[in-house]
Amino acid sequence: MKENIQSAIQQALEGSPERKFVESMEISFTLKDVDLKNPANRIQEEVRLPSGRGKPVKIAMFAGGEMSTKAKAAGLDVIDPATIEDIGGNRQQARKMANRYDFFLAEIPHMGTVGRFLGVVLGPRGKMPRPVPPNVDPAMIASGLKDTAVVRSRDKITFHTALGSREQGLDDLTMNAMAIWNRVMSKLERGPGNIRSCYIKTSMGPSYKVEVIA
């Protein structure tokens, strides 16, 4: 499979013109013969990319006091917990916030408030915050997330995730794609036999089919 995935990545790189910004590379899967109405069959994985994501990750933390100081020192954007209810009351503002960041963290005491007022926006996007215990430096958690891709099907047979950025080059992108491919296959009863199709593309470019060997 590695050669087939690498071939599709190369086609995507060559088939998309250079942009004025760094494009992400994406891999998409369409499943077959999988009952996604059963939550146990859904794909919900966090994959550490061996070559990293290739572009900065935006992380915000719901934190106050000493923890907010630590979060800022780690380069995270801090959201004042006192504003959670107000943000949740403005759906447009909540959606903008959810789309602005790749990941969220929160002090444990604020997790319930986030769930109550922002869960309806963050939950469906797979962006509910990761809890940070009082004795843990948020920089440690953020460091791991900077190389993480979230692969999430929900109840849809077609889903996608970023595997890196086009600046990383063919070999690095192939390693990342294989990490995602292998993880998804490990969660399917028949592995590649449950894949109807797989495509790779730059974020703005055309899709190129991966020849799947079942």
The percent of the chain in helix, strand and coil, each rounded to the nearest 5, is 45, 25, 35
Q: How many other CB atoms are found less than 10 A from the CB of residue 132? A: 24
- pLDDT tens digits, one per residue of 83-111: 999 999 999 999 999 999 999 999 999 99
Helices (H), the chain: 2-15, 65-73, 84-89, 91-100, 111-122, 138-145, 170-186
In CATH terms, the superfamily for domain 59-145 is: Ribosomal protein L1/L10, domain II (3.40.50.790)
pLDDT digits (tens, 9 = 90+) for 44-69: 999 999 999 998 889 999 999 999 99
Q: Where are the domains of the chain?
A: 2-54+147-209, 59-145
Whole-number Cα distances in Å, 197 to 8, 30, 31, 84, 133: 13, 5, 7, 41, 41
CATH number of 2-54+147-209: 3.30.190.20
Check residue 12 and give its pLDDT: 95
Please, what sign has the CA dihedral across residues 153, 158, 161, 163?
positive
Question: Which pLDDT tens digit goes with each residue over 103-150?
Answer: 999 999 999 999 999 999 999 888 999 999 999 999 999 988 989 999
> What is the reported pTM?
0.83
Nearest-CA neighbor of 93 among 72, 122, 68, 58?
Answer: 122
Residue 212 in tokens: 């799947």
Cα distance between residue 97 and residue 166, in whole Å: 26
